[in-house]
Amino acid sequence: MENNNTKWYLLAFLGAVWGSSFILMQMGLKGVNSVQLGSLRIVFAGFFLLLVGFKEIPKIPLYKWKYIALTAIFGTFVPVYLFAIALSKIDGSVSSILNSLTPLNTLLIGIIFFGIPVQRRQVFGVIIGFIGCVLLVLSENGGNTSENYYYAILIVIASLFYGINVNFIKKYLSDLKPLTISTGNFLIMLFPALLVLYFSDFFAIATDEKVVTSLGFIAILGIVGTGFSNILFFRLIQLSSPVFASSVTYIIPVVAFMLGFFVMDESLSLLQGLGALIVLVGVYFSSRK
C-alpha cells in the first residue's frame, strides 16, 4: 500500500515539475540559443548529481555501463537538444501535448522489443489518456505555431526515445538505485555537453546581462527539472510499470494549461477542462495491474 501511494505522489510531483519546465526552457531561450540551452541543462544537472551521488559510481557493475550509456543517450542527451530546438519555434503547451505520445510509444516498444507484459487496463488507460490530450490539442487556437509544424516532429522523436529509455531501465537497471543510475548517466553526458557548449561560443557571451538572467532559469531547469527529477522518475519506474511511469507525460500538458490559466491569465475552456479530466482517468487506468 505504501508503494502504491508513493508512486502516485511521485507521478504528481514529476507532472508538476516537468509541466513547469516548458516555461523555464522558453525563459532560458531568451538569453541563449537552443544548443547552449541543451548543453547547460545537462551541465547543471551533471554537476549537481556528481556532487550528491559520486559515491554511487563504483556501485555500477562493469557490464551494466552499456545500459547506463544507452539510457543516457535515449533518456536525456538527445531529447534535451530536440526539445530546446523545437521550443525555439513552437509553443510550450503544444510541445507538452506532443510529448504525451510517450506512453503510447512506451507501450508499443515494450510489447514489440522487450516482451514486457501489458494488461488490458493499461492499454485502455493509454488510449483514454491520448484522447484527453487530443481534446487539449483541439482546444488550442494554434498560436503562432502554424508555420513550424516540422519542428513538432522533433518532439515526437524525443517521445520515442523516452519510450525506449523507460523500457531499458525497467528491464536492465531495476536492480540499481535511482541515484546510481542518474549519476552514471550524467557522468557519461557531462564531458560531451561541455564540449558542445564550448564550440557553441557560449563563453564569449557568458557575461551578457540577458545570458546571466537566463542562466538562473536554466539552473533550476537542470538541477530540479532534470537532475533531481530523473532520480525520482527512475524510482517511479521501479515502483510501477513502464506504461504507468511514462503516463506522467499526460499530466504535463494539464499542468501547462493550469499554469497558463492561473499564472498567465489565459482562459480555460470547457473543452480543456474535459480533456484534463479524461487525461486523469487515463492515468488511473494505466496504473492498474
String of DSSP letters for 81-107:
HHHHHHHTTS-HHHHHHHGGGHHHHHH
Give the list of residues 6+ apart from residue 2 with CB closer than 8 angstroms, or none: none
Distance (Å, rounded) from C-alpha 260 to C-alpha 139?
13
pLDDT of residue 140: 56
Q: What own/partner pairs with CB < 8 Å and gap ≥ 24 does 142-148 have? A: 143/91, 143/94, 144/91, 145/89, 145/90, 145/91, 145/94, 148/89, 148/90
Number of C-beta neighbours around residue 235 at 10 A = 20
Read off the pLDDT of residues 77-128 as tens digits, 9 standing for 90 and up. Answer: 999 999 999 888 877 766 777 787 788 888 889 888 888 777 787 788 878 8
Distance (Å, rounded) from C-alpha 169 to C-alpha 109?
13
pLDDT of residue 279: 73
3-state secondary structure of 1: coil
Nearest to 94 by CA among 40, 149, 18, 174: 149
pTM: 0.85
Q: Enumerate residue ranges in the chain where pLDDT < 70.
A: 1-3, 93-94, 133, 136-149, 260-261, 263-269, 272, 286-289
DSSP 8-state code for residue 114: I
- Alpha-carbon distance values, 211 to 28, 157, 197 (Å): 8, 29, 14
DSSP 8-state code for residue 100: G
Is the CB of residue 14 less than 8 Å from the CB of residue 227? Answer: no
